[in-house]
Structure 1
């Protein structure tokens, strides 16, 4: 469902772009849009990337934190959890996450951290 919405948005943008190219307003609007897109790319490339700059495709990040609730139990042994592992699976283009594919959290104890 998410893919169909994104595909519909891309098609709508291409139709709008085609209409602007054929109209007189395109002489003003298209250079401005090009400048905004270029500025957006510069901002993305200057930010600290979540992945290496050449990363393309699905990637997974794992972040650890201390549990805020004392009720969290380890998924392996049901002992009290000492860490929460947050995993994020994303589609990446040039080191920048573009689409979130999956996310979740896994409480673990010190014995099962590895």
Structure 2
């Protein structure tokens, strides 16, 4: 299980990637995070994050009719959001490479 503290550091980038794949709404984002194995992320975590992404102009939104209730706010990445996602991917690659080296003992084996 992924701890909440570990997830907090990467949640924004994961959400940007989900939105990049297709226009989507908050509840659907929580379900996709769970499907990808990131555990249950509460809507109480998602909604403030989505507001921050909008405030920072990383996503835009549009209200659309729903077949099962009130209108839903669907999110899309802005150009700034696409740039932020690309930066996240690079940062993640760098971080995961370093951590994998550390926990995989690559540097320690080279010393032997």
The TM-score normalised by the length of structure 1 is: 0.28
The TM-score normalised by the length of structure 2 is: 0.28
